[in-house]
């Protein structure tokens, strides 16, 4: 599932930008099914760069399989086109 960031309109790129990703259960609309994780609680969670092969660093701030989870992802370069 591609993730985009709206609102950044500056001409210079922000490098190694920490982006907060909020994950919601499927029952709230868009989201994911926590039950699809094969290695609990989130060992098989991955974020990749636009090339879909470069793994991005991330850190779990809060994990709640019955509600919202908060994950910080290091985006290599955030531009107005990201």
Query: Which positions of the chain have pLDDT values less than 70?
Result: 27-31, 38, 40
User: Does some domain include residue 44?
Assistant: yes
User: Does some domain include residue 56?
Assistant: yes
What DSSP designation does 66 have?
Answer: T
Domain range enclosing 34: 14-74
Q: Is 24 helix (H, G, I), strand (E, B) or coil?
A: coil
> DSSP states of 26-61 as a string?
GGGSSSB-GGG-SSTTTTT---B-TTSSSBPPEEEE
- State the pLDDT at residue 28: 53
Identify the residue whose tokens are 């019955």. 66
Q: What global pTM score does this model have?
A: 0.80
User: Does some domain include residue 80?
Assistant: no
- State the pLDDT at residue 73: 96
What is the number of domains present in the chain? 1
């Amino acid at each position: 599932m591609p993730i985009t960031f709206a609102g950044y309109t500056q001409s210079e790129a922000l490098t190694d930008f920490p982006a907060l990703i909020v994950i919601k259960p499927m029952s709230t609309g868009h989201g994911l099914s926590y039950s699809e994780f094969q290695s609990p609680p989130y060992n098989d969670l991955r974020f990749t760069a636009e090339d879909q092969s470069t793994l991005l660093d991330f850190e779990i701030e809060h994990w709640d399989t019955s509600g919202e989870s908060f994950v910080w992802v290091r985006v290599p370069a955030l531009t107005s086109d990201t």
